[in-house]
Amino acid sequence: MWYDLIEKSDPEIFGSIKKEVGRQRNSLEMIPSENFASAAVLQAIGSALTNKYSEGYPGRRYYGGNQFVDEIERTAVARAKSLFGVPYANVQPYSGSPANLEVYLALCKPGDVICGQSLTDGGHLTHGWKTSVTGMIFKSVQYGVGDDGYVDIEGMRRIILKNRPKLVWVGASAYTRAFPFKEVWDASNEVGAYVAADIAHVAGLIVGGVHESPVDYSHIITTTTHKTLRGPRGAIIMVTQKGLDKDPELPEKIDRIVFPGMQGGPHDHTTAGIAVALMEASKPEFKEYAQQVVKNAKALAEGLKKRGIKLVTGGTDNHIVLMDLTPFGKGKGVFVQDALDVVGITVNKNTIPNEPSSPFYPSGIRLGTPALTTRGMKEEDMVAIAGFITDVVDEVKANELPSDKAGRVACLKEFKAEIASNPRLLEIRGRVLELCGRFPLYPEITA
């Protein structure tokens, strides 16, 4: 048993871990940024490496005793360089948001103009959204999507040419189509901007050859390591050959800003987990996995459409499907997310382009297939899941949000209490449990 020591020493925390492992096993994890790291990755991040301090870089640390940590970090860096085809990688960023901030601080000064895809059009907070520090300390201009849900290429070009940003981001968190790497690169080159591709969502798909790589269309690439890449929570910053050609000092600038600029000691246990995940991602089985993630997303999209659900862009090229619930009214995402929770389908409510409601009460639901594909599910399972989801939507779509804040809070409280014992939802819960039972998760963990 994996958690036998915690069980003895701290039954309270053991109980919570056990319940969470059970939740992961008995529900359908469809948040597209989540995945199930392998048991080998879990062992690496649960190792005694967590005890070490290693400020600095391999061969030049501030503390002694780093000979084995050096081996691990050198291996992780070499694997990242080889897997993504880049000349430089830093594996120390604590996670995606600090990695992106490190890129800004390496290249820009406060007040510089920066550009990225708007959060409400699927972009990420750290690409200059107003409530992120990146939108507060830099002058952020944002591009978005057109009425068809695809990035508005002409609009993006106009914004870049007019505002002449220092740094342009390409990449997003709720976008179901291929990222326009070349188009952003071409526009940015016209004004001499640095291009940073944030591939956090699609890194595993790139490795698997089912999404284009930005290696020829960016100076810098950032990624988290825990989404489609299926590693531990962490991040990597890479510099491409194009980046080195533009600025040979980029690697040094990034190294210096990661440490000592923004971070202290790297999380060596995470570095080991990243190294293990990168090794796993280099295997032929991982390519099959990535291909299946996209096949599953397409099957899910088709299944939902057949049952009358509208999708942003009408489908998907990647691992994400974005349901547009506006045909049933505005702000329905919150009801559907809560009802899906009752049946054991874990998703997140999400804004849709031209959102008629608000980010907290949005009109969309974001779905993803990376975690279900790791469990071994295939297209026919996605079709079944599309049926569960549409049954849930049908059950709750008539609920209306009051327009005032206090009314909304009371309405949602009442709604949650009602759905917990809704017979139709409980019947669907039974079908979800039966499906989960056919795809065991973490047989290595006996807790």
Contacts of ligand DSN in 117-156 (CB under 6 A): 124
96 touches ligand DSN by CB under 6 A: yes
337 touches ligand DSN by CB under 6 A: no
Determine the Cα–Cα distance for residues 303 and 380; give it in Å rounded to an integer: 10
> Which residue's C-beta sits nearest to ligand DSN?
33
Least gap, CB of 96 to ligand DSN (angstroms): 5
Determine the Cα–Cα distance for residues 290 and 288; give it in Å rounded to an integer: 6
Instruction: Sketch the per residue contact string, 50 through 89, with ligand DSN: x for CB under 6 A, - otherwise.
Output: ----------------------------------------
Least gap, CB of 126 to ligand DSN (angstroms): 8
Listed in sequence order, the residues at least 6 apart from 359 whose beta carbon sits closer than 8 Å to its beta carbon are 120, 351
Least gap, CB of 346 to ligand DSN (angstroms): 12
Nearer to ligand DSN, 129 or 194 (CB): 129
Determine the Cα–Cα distance for residues 22 and 390; give it in Å rounded to an integer: 25
Catalytic residue among 75, 176, 224, 270: 224
CA within 13 Å, CB half, 81: 13
Determine the Cα–Cα distance for residues 319 and 298; give it in Å rounded to an integer: 8
Listed in sequence order, the residues at least 6 apart from 26 whose beta carbon sits closer than 8 Å to its beta carbon are 344, 433, 436
Least gap, CB of 172 to ligand DSN (angstroms): 9
When binding is defined by CB under 6 A, the residue of 92, 142, 173, 271 that contacts ligand DSN is: 173
CA neighbor of 40 nearest in space, from 444, 401, 366, 312? 444
Alpha-carbon Rg for the chain in angstroms: 22
Determine the Cα–Cα distance for residues 414 and 416; give it in Å rounded to an integer: 5
Catalytic residue among 177, 227, 366, 375: 227
Least gap, CB of 90 to ligand DSN (angstroms): 19
Any catalytic annotation for residue 233? yes
Nearer to ligand DSN, 38 or 173 (CB): 173
Contacts of ligand DSN in 14-33 (CB under 6 A): 33
Nearer to ligand DSN, 235 or 428 (CB): 235
Catalytic residue among 233, 246, 253, 310: 233
CA within 13 Å, CB half, 347: 29
CA neighbor of 181 nearest in space, from 214, 144, 220, 145? 214
316 touches ligand DSN by CB under 6 A: no
Least gap, CB of 314 to ligand DSN (angstroms): 21
Q: Where are the beta strands (DSSP E) in 254-381?
A: 310-311, 320-324, 345-346, 348-350, 364-368
Nearer to ligand DSN, 122 or 251 (CB): 122
- Is the separation of the CB atoms in 240 and 221 below 8 Å? yes
Determine the Cα–Cα distance for residues 23 and 27; give it in Å rounded to an integer: 6
Any catalytic annotation for residue 53? yes
Structure tokens at 296: 């599953």
Catalytic residue among 55, 70, 212, 391: 55
- Is the separation of the CB atoms in 63 and 54 below 8 Å? yes
Structure tokens at 26: 């008995």
What's the gap between Cα 7 and its chain centre? Answer: 32
Nearer to ligand DSN, 49 or 322 (CB): 322
Least gap, CB of 322 to ligand DSN (angstroms): 12
DSSP secondary structure letters along 145-174? B-TTSSB-HHHHHHHHHHH--SEEEE--SS
Nearer to ligand DSN, 235 or 382 (CB): 235
Q: What is the DSSP letter of 257?
A: I
Nearer to ligand DSN, 96 or 331 (CB): 96
Catalytic residue among 198, 338, 355, 381: 198
Least gap, CB of 174 to ligand DSN (angstroms): 7
Contacts of ligand DSN in 30-49 (CB under 6 A): 33
Nearer to ligand DSN, 151 or 419 (CB): 151
Maximum distance among all alpha carbons in the chain?
64
Catalytic residue among 53, 246, 305, 408: 53
Nearer to ligand DSN, 28 or 69 (CB): 28
Least gap, CB of 145 to ligand DSN (angstroms): 16
Determine the Cα–Cα distance for residues 410 and 340; give it in Å rounded to an integer: 20
Give φ, ψ of 303 to 5 degrees: -60, -40
Determine the Cα–Cα distance for residues 366 and 84; give it in Å rounded to an integer: 27
Residues near ligand DSN (CB under 6 A) are 33, 96, 124, 173
Residues that are catalytic: 53, 55, 198, 224, 227, 233
